[in-house]
């Protein structure tokens, strides 16, 4: 049976390349035998460390030089880059050309990711739902973002449901939780249709009118 393929335009080749690079940089190399990650100057996997897909083909995709791709390629990338459900849908959309080729709302420009990762202090970016999108090595050492499941990689979840936050914030945890909660309530009141689910998960009551 002939394998179906999708042809890329110049625009979605570059959009796909940026998307793949950003997701590769979010991954961490495997721990060594002692359980410690090898120290590197930059975060993320190297291209040759992306397993489950031909390195030559992956490099062509990430450099925007591939002209076509098959559904099997998309499936391999989803597994290799450990994409979330949302990212997997977006990748398939990019590779099939069924939607306008632009990053999803939570995509972060590569330049901004590199800025965060280059900081000498713990740094991360979050969206309006407090989901952590990008972080640097020092933030990972402090908060353990890389080893946290994607669906739990959220500032609110960390503060209110992750026991590690007690050790990180110590006596300041209550004050920090109250500050973040007040901010989130304000966000919820401005966009209840967007953030109602997260409010429900945390059982956050609406302030009295």
> Scanning the structure block, which residue is given the tokens 């353990």?
144
Contacts of 68 (CB under 8 A, 6+ apart): 5, 6, 7, 8
pLDDT for residue 143 is more than 80: yes
Domains of the chain: 6-96 (1.10.260.40), 120-202 (no CATH)
- Cα separation, 30 vs 44, in Å, equals 11
CB 100 within 8 A of CB 62: no
> 41-45, 89-93, 131-135 — which is least confidently predicted?
41-45
CB 134 within 8 A of CB 26: yes
- Cα 181 from chain centroid (whole Å): 23
Instruction: Enter the pTM of the model.
Output: 0.48
In the prediction, which pLDDT does 203 show? 46
CA–CA distances in Å: residue 13 to residues 81, 158, 196:
18, 36, 36
pLDDT band at 40 (very low <50, low <70, confident <90, very high): low
In the prediction, which pLDDT does 98 show? 54
pLDDT for residue 208 is more than 50: no
pLDDT in tens, 162-177: 999 999 999 999 999 8
């Amino acid at each position: 049976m002939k394998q179906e393929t999708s042809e890329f335009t110049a625009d979605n080749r570059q959009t796909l390349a940026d998307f793949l690079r950003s997701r590769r940089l979010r991954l961490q190399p495997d721990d060594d035998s002692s359980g410690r990650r090898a120290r590197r100057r930059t975060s993320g996997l190297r291209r040759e460390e992306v397993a489950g897909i031909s390195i030559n083909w992956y490099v062509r995709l990430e450099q925007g030089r591939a002209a076509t791709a098959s559904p099997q390629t998309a499936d391999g990338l989803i597994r290799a880059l450990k994409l979330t459900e949302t990212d997997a849908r977006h990748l398939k959309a990019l590779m099939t050309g069924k939607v306008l080729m632009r990053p999803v709302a939570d995509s972060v420009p590569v330049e901004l990711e590199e800025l965060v990762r280059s900081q000498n202090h713990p740094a991360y970016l979050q969206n309006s739902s407090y989901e952590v999108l990008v972080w640097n090595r020092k933030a990972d050492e402090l908060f353990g973002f890389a080893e946290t499941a994607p669906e739990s990689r959220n500032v609110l979840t960390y503060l209110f449901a992750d026991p590690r936050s007690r050790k990180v914030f110590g006596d300041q945890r209550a004050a920090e939780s109250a500050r973040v909660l007040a901010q989130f309530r304000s966000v919820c009141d401005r966009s209840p249709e967007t953030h109602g689910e997260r409010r429900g998960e945390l059982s956050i009551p609406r302030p009295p009118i």
